[in-house]
Structure 1
Amino acid sequence: MTDGWGPPKSPPKSPPKSSPASAWPLNDRGPGPLLPGTADRAARRAEERAREREQRAQDRLAATDQRAEARAAQRDALSQDRERAREARRVEEAQRIRARLDAPPANDEEALKIAKRRRSGARARSGEETKTERDTRGYTTIVDPARIRTLAARGASIAALAAAFGITAEEVEAALRDTPEE
């Protein structure tokens, strides 16, 4: 049957008919009433399934919590290991720097590099007080005649050069008189 506007339509369904052998109507589950006690068993089984479902959900939550705690403990242990390794590297680096600074320079060029070393400015950026009085009694100044001449050419006085290098004014004048032969 079609009305001309689409696929054929199926005939309308009639209400379920009664079976001549039984007084009960036919339905999708089959003919007949439930057996005695079936409803109680079905209800108990439904409750049991609900309890089992709830228990499984609780077990899953407990397992998830346990995994999360284990991961957190593992991450904490790894971060502590990394921090210990970092601290060991810091100590080792400090010892290396101390050993390098305590060792006498191998040559004048290396000594000049140490003397000209620039600071990064990290202390100034940190807000820490940068102008501090330092005990300079143990400091050694490298007396380099070329450096004395360079500073004198920039306008430093003989007295200032003598005080800066810890030498006499005569030694400064001698360094200025001695010009390198090129």
Structure 2
Amino acid sequence: MRIAFLVAPEGIEQVELTEPQAAVEAAGGTSVLVSTESGQVQAFHHLDKADTFPVDQVVGETSVEEFDGLVLPGGVANPDALRLDEKAVAFVKAFFDAGKPVAAICHAPWTLIEADVLRGRTLTSWPSLRTDVRNAGGTWVDEQVKICTAGPNTLITSRKPDDLKAFCEALVGEFGKR
């Protein structure tokens, strides 16, 4: 199981990156940090700078075929920056087109909205995205984890860091089916 973790150069909620990475690796998988720029990415703990992490691959120089699934960590600034990057948005959409599972937590569905992949899908997120999800054709629910199979792929979503245990269990379970 080789899983892409797509992030912007900064603004990633650290725990929403590191806990899913650890879960994938504990399940025998490989996590690959993909970003829009090479070098290091800056994670945050809410609004405070946290650790930096080395980028493994740059979006636009990699392809969906190299991966079994995609994880989109949250943080407010992270998905907001990703949705402005055409290559990042195309990379996300390609996972849906290829029928590969995607997991997104907290504010990460903003990138899914930009990729126009939520029509007819049911998902959860940070509550402030509720209207955005509905406007994009999705159905928003307030649940710890939502697994939606009503589309070309499996979509796993979660609301916030407090849901990480359930989110990690769900994504590892779904990614392991491939």
TM-score by length of 2: 0.22
- Larger Rg belongs to: 1
TM-score by length of 1: 0.21
Higher RCO (CA < 8 A, seq sep 6+): 2
Q: Which has the higher strand share?
A: 2
